[in-house]
Amino acid sequence: MGLRTADILSAMERFSKTKVPAEVEAQVTSSTSRYGKVKLVLQHDRYYIECPGDPMVLEQLLQDPVLRELRVLRDASDAVLPR
């Protein structure tokens, strides 16, 4: 949609009858800072998560035990490595 964090927060301030709580501002900032950093890609009938340009995002995702267990490791020839 192309909205920037500042645009969202500005609109929330304009349309809100009360001051937007700091917790809500922090949530919007946190959410929009992560937007678009992860892609779900379908290859060979399997879904893969890609994090181009930001390896720290992938590291954060791998902290989740479910995602960590589903990770597919490959060698330089693109062959799947055993677990």
pLDDT of residue 80: 84
Range list of H helices, the chain: 5-15, 22-34, 55-61, 65-70
DSSP single-letter state for residue 49: E
Go through the chain and tell me how many residues it has: 83
d(CA 33, CA 65): 23
pLDDT tens sequence across 18-59: 999 999 999 999 988 878 888 889 988 888 888 887 888 888
* Closest by Cα among 83, 78, 81 to 43: 78
pLDDT tens sequence across 70-83: 888 888 898 888 87
